[in-house]
Amino acid sequence: MSDPIVPSRIIPAGAPLPARPPQPGEVPPWRTPPPPPAAPPWPGFPPPPPPGPIEVHVTLLPLPLPEPEPEPRWWERVWDYVTDRLITWRMTIALALSVTPWVAGQSPVGLWSRTVHAARDEASIGGAYVLAGVAVAAAWALDRHTGRTVPRALLVTASLGATGVVHWWDPILALTGVSR
Q: Is 31 left (phi over 0), alpha (psi -120 to 50) or beta?
A: beta
Structurally, the chain folds into a number of domains equal to: 1
Which structural domain range is residue 100 located in? 89-176
DSSP for 16-36 reads PPPSSPPPTTPPPTTSPPPPP
In-domain check, residue 141: yes
48 vs 19, higher pLDDT: 19
Looking at residue 33, its pLDDT comes to 72
Q: Give 28-39 pLDDT, tens digit per residue.
A: 766 777 777 776
In-domain check, residue 164: yes
The strand ranges marked E within the chain are none
In-domain check, residue 162: yes
In-domain check, residue 24: no
DSSP state of 163: G
113 vs 32, higher pLDDT: 113
The burial class, CB within 10 Å (0-12 / 13-18 / 19+), for 127 is middle
- CA dihedral over 123, 129, 134, 135, signed as positive or negative: positive
In-domain check, residue 101: yes
Q: Give 11-20 pLDDT, tens digit per residue.
A: 777 777 778 8
Looking at residue 40, its pLDDT comes to 62
